[in-house]
Structure 1
Amino acid sequence: MPLTPRNPSPRARWLRSAVLVAASAGLVAAALPAPTPLGIGDPLFPHLGNPGYDVLSYDIDLTYQGENTEPLAAVTRIEALATADLERINLDFTHGKVTSVTVGGEPATFETSGEDLVITPVRAVEDGEALNIAVTHTSDPRGAADSGGWVRTGDGLAMANQADAAHRVFPSNDHPADKAHFTFRITAPSALTAVANGLPTGRTENGATTTWTYRTSHPMATELAQVSIGRTTVVHRTGPHGLPVRDVVRTADKDLMEPWLKRTPGHLEWMERQVGPYPFETYGVLVADAETGFELETQTLSLFERRLFTETGFPEWYVDSVMVHELAHHWFGNSVSPRTWSDLWLNEGHASWYEALYAEETAKQSLERRMKAAYGASDGWRAAGGPPAAPKPPAPGRKISLFRPVVYDGSALVLYALRQEIGKDAFQRLERRWVSEHKDSTATTADFTALASEVAGRDLTSFFAGWLHAEKTPPMPGHPDWRSLPAGEARSAAKPG
């Protein structure tokens, strides 16, 4: 709901009047320094996110003409709350053309700097003031496939925005520290189907086109946004406690995918037994006819490559456990999001942990054997990518390189060590409290280690210092015979997702 601006103080009224007079005289641009890209200080992505405001909601209109090689027409409306006095407002945005911007309904000037859209409103914004921004722009699906953002599929489009590519699709405060509610309004040729995060709230036929509206019930990080447009069918079923489950597949693949898709209610039940109730309003699987090289936990509608389900080289237990991996992210990473990207191990370590635990319980794939192999590779992984909670920055021009083995099985290994250290009962209490107490919010490594100490009833600072931050892997509790192998002898089985 839009916030009502408070009554401005006499000083604020004077300042705004002065700015307006200066603007009419053409003096504001001269008074302000040249625009620069800003950031919130993330150690891995220094220019990601923007200071000075908290986004409450995004309302995104997209118009798709039917060709995934042409830019979409778009309008992004942002409701936010200023957390500082702002003469300018920076949004993350690139790979699209902006034609107009309004702030509070009034036209604003704008220019680009780096990957920021820098907006100068006609009136300065005060700390605590409601901020309503509308940007008319294009959203271009063309570009390097490994840069993220839109994914061109065999019959349309999908999104893969992790870690920093949502702003290749729509203007935003593109950092998981600033979660918000989303509404998507997608207009496409009527022969196609459009699906997005959350639940449908409307569908309007306009002759040759149809407009589909979806809204999230819970806040979401920008990197988890998902819009699918294509010749697809939405398959509905029911999950635990009446949860609506919807899967999105190519219409031609509906019967082919059904043996896999019908497993989702069982996956949900299994995860709920581990950590408690599913945290969102719906869940489902989006099977995209595209080769991304990864699967992705986009909120309420996880993205999967079609080939995961059709290639004969993947064992059945492996595909099944990968589906659980992306589902587990809805507790770890989606509901409880990382405060900074250095906290990524909390996302991927937990998803890999439950993937491995599920494979052990349902397919007799030994968790201990997998963790012993990870221990053998751990020193090499740490040397290549940094310790789990202090990862090295991604390689220049290859942002996805952040998703290294150390944040997958290398971080699941930390959780295995923690369970060995505090016992299974305490570990399960910790996991349940973590997702319950931080639901719909963000949290840090420090938050997790503090809660672990509280649950264990003793200070675990030294334990976590070694397991999360040291260059060498500490001895494994309960397994003093385990050894880490030289980097060249360690084999990685990790995957993005």
Structure 2
Amino acid sequence: MLLTPRAGSPRRKTRRRVTAALLASAASVCLVAAGTPAAPLGIGDRLFPYLGNPGYDVAAYDLALTYGGDNTKPLKAVTTIDAWTTAPLERVNLDFAEGRVDSVEVDGEPARFTTAGEDLVVTPPRRLPEGSWMRITVRHTSDPTPEGDRDGGWVRTSDGLAMANQADVAHLVFPCNDHPSDKAMFTFRITAPDGYTAVANGLPAGEERSARSTTWTYRTRHPMATELAQVSIGHSAVLHRTGPHGLPLRDVVPAADRAGLERWLKKTPEQIAWMESKVGAFPFETYGLLMADADTGFELETQTMSLFEKDVFTEPAYPEWYVESIMVHELSHQWFGDSVSPRTWSDLWLNEGHATWYEELYAQEKAHKPMETRMKAAYAASDRWRAAGGPPARPRAPEPGRKISIFRANVYDGAALVLYALRQKIGKPAFERLERAWVQNHRDGTATTADFVELASHLTGRDLGGFFRAWLYGEKTPPMPGHPDWTSVAPGKTAHG
């Protein structure tokens, strides 16, 4: 995710609880003794403790959505979840915080359900033993117009809808295990009236036309975190081209703007080739840009199809080199954040620090904007960023009502500064070997800060634990290797004291 620069105060987000036609209320919480009340669960993420749920591992989602042509009205939806149980379950908690739940089935049989906090709590007809396969089918609505503002979930565009589910809002759209540590395969089936085009992550897997509507099916070929799911519905043009090694590329733009946006879209193949020269082969089955006529306040690396505000490409105040660097920021996330996903949200610096790094490196190589200049400025501000947002690998919790507020400077330029310091310490050749090994070793998986530290130490034959502890967790910014003259201004002080 990259925040779009603009004036104005931050928006606040509120949540509605699920409204459910309750079939029963007495049940047992999964992993808790029978007879206890339903309760919201979580996997204990330091920043989002109630995200995710224990006791199962999702293998696949099948999400069917029916759009009626009005982006102010709820969509009819059926979400099917295939998962393995990792513990005996009396109940199954799903993250789901908006929409009406009409019915739930477990393995084809009706199941009771209730709500607790932002969880949909399902009671199967019988206890599920550890190591068993289960299929949960939820018939529900998916509401694009909740009470109050929010920072994601469904995004209403001028002609339809798109998704922006980072960091913790996929469960405002569909029931899920909404944490990046539980990646899964996805199938999307989107039905929309004639005149609309629907596109989703992955590759097309068929179209079925009826008298007045079309159903599009898309499937991913690689596992995906829920926060990276994307569905676009609108009066869109889908433009196709070929990337390196025959990679199929598709861009989704408002049909009326296709000609004016082409000069930007045609840059993607070269940008992919540039990234491949740095870190290796593109990790997915396709890529492209979704340019939405919407006001989101950010750009987002949804897997295989990055979401951008259309205005980023039409605003004359943005220099061309800057727009291209934003494109590379989201593209690099396909390796760092999408293919290699964070095990916890405290590992966010691995996503945003790397994306910022390659954004800056591209600007240096293609537009002669020295990375060292930006890094020196980041170093000067680093102590202030750490005081305001925490060290890069231990960011402060989000502000109340603003979950998106974890995306602070400390995990962007502050984290890129850590990578710069690392390259200064171990040298450019070793750093480049580390980058390639990181995305190769953890492809299609999740990884932690400790994994990165371990790999860096292993590849260099040096114990880098102390270096990383200081740079990733220290309240003060350590001295920059090779630049002893660089200084950081502490909060409440000026550059002269």
TM bucket normalised to smaller: over 0.9
Out of 344, 347, 362, which is 2:351 matched to? 347
Paired with 2:492 and 2:291, the residues of 1 have a C-alpha distance of: 36
> In the TM superposition, what whole-angstrom CA distance separates every residue of 1:94-124 from its partner, at most 9, and x where no partner exists?
1111000000111000000000000001100
**Cα distance between partner residues in 2 of 1:174 and 1:27:** 25
- Taking the aligned partners of 2:476 and 2:418, their CA distance within structure 1 comes to 13
- Counterpart residue type for residue 213 of structure 1: T
Q: CA deviation at 1:486?
A: 3.2
> Normalized per residue, which structure has more helix?
1
Alignment partners' CA distance in 2, 1:216 and 1:490: 51
SS of the residue aligned with 2:298?
coil
Counterpart Cα distance in 2 of 1:95 and 1:311: 34
Letter in 2 for 1:191: G
Q: Which residue of 1 aligns with 2:142?
A: 139
Aligned to 1:122: 125
Counterparts of 2:126 and 2:54 in 1: how far apart (Å)?
Answer: 18
- In structure 1, the partner of 2:115 is 112
Q: Which residue of 2 aligns with 1:297?
A: 301
The 5 A counterparts of 1:425-436 are 425-436=429-440
State the 1:147 CA deviation.
3.3
TM-score (norm 1): 0.92
1:463-485, Cα deviation, whole Å (9 max, x unpaired): 00100000000000000000002
How well do the aligned residues superpose, as a CA RMSD in angstroms? 1.5
2:338 is matched with which residue?
A: 334
The answer for the alignment partner of 1:202 in structure 2 is 206
Residue ranges of structure 2 left out of the alignment (5+ in a row): 1-24
Q: Among 9, 19, 39, which residue is 1:36 paired with?
A: 39
Q: SS at the partner of 1:487?
A: coil
Partners of 2:241 and 2:250 within 8 A in 1: yes
Say whether the 8 Å CA contact 1:77–1:135 is kept in structure 2.
yes
1:58-90, CA deviations, whole angstroms, 9 ceiling, x for partnerless residues?
A: 000000000000000000000000000000000
What is the aligned counterpart of 2:56 among 53, 56, 61? 53
CA distance in 2, matches of 1:431, 1:487: 33
**What is the one-letter code of the residue matched to 1:44?**
L
1:365-398: CA deviation from partner (whole Å, max 9, x where unpaired): 1100000000000000000000000111000100
TM-score, normalising length: structure 2: 0.92
Q: Which amino acid aligns with 2:69?
A: G
* Local SS of the residue matching 1:102: strand
Partners of 2:493 and 2:368 lie apart in 1 by 26
* Aligned residue in 2 for 1:4: none
In 1, Cα distance between the equivalents of 2:310 and 2:492? Answer: 33
Equivalence map 1:186-335=2 (5 Å)? 186-335=190-339
Aligned pairs for 1:62-77 within 5 A: 62-77=65-80
Give me the whole-angstrom Cα distance separating, in 1, the residues matched to 2:389 and 2:337: 20
Question: Take 1:489 and 1:156, find their aligned partners in 2: how far apart are those partners?
Answer: 49
Give CA deviations for 1:14-71 in whole Å, capped at 9, x if unaligned. Answer: xxxxxxxxxxxx9867952110000001000000000000000000000000000000
Does structure 1 retain, via aligned residues, the 8 Å contact 2:393–2:473?
yes
Q: Which amino acid aligns with 1:363?
A: A
CA distance in 2, matches of 1:266, 1:486: 41
Superimposed CA distance per residue, residues 321-380 of structure 1 (whole angstroms, 9 cap, x where no aligned partner) = 000000000000000000000000000000000000000000001100000000000000
Give the aligned residue type for 1:261.
Answer: L
SS at match of 2:281: coil
CA distance in 2, matches of 1:103, 1:153: 35
Letter in 2 for 1:425: P
Secondary structure of residue in 2 paired with 1:146: coil
1:182 pairs with 2:207: no
| Counterpart amino acid of residue 108 in structure 1 | A
Aligned-partner SS, 1:147: coil
Work out the CA distance in 2 between the residues paired with 1:432 and 1:31.
Answer: 49
- The reply on whether 1:487 has 2:491 as its aligned counterpart is yes
TM-superposed deviation, 1:487: 3.4
Q: How far apart, CA to CA, are the structure 2 residues paired with 1:425 and 1:32?
A: 60
Q: Which residue of 2 aligns with 1:494?
A: none
Q: Please name the residue that 1:390 is paired with.
A: 394
Q: Secondary structure at the match of 1:451?
A: helix
| Map of 1:100 onto structure 2 | 103
Residue 488 of structure 1 deviates from its aligned partner by 5.8
Q: Give the aligned partner of residue 422 of structure 2.
A: 418
Partner Cα separation in structure 2 for residue 148 and residue 28 of structure 1: 32
4+ runs deviating over 6 angstroms:
none
- Asked if 2 retains the 8 angstrom alpha-carbon contact of 1:377 and 1:490, the reply is no
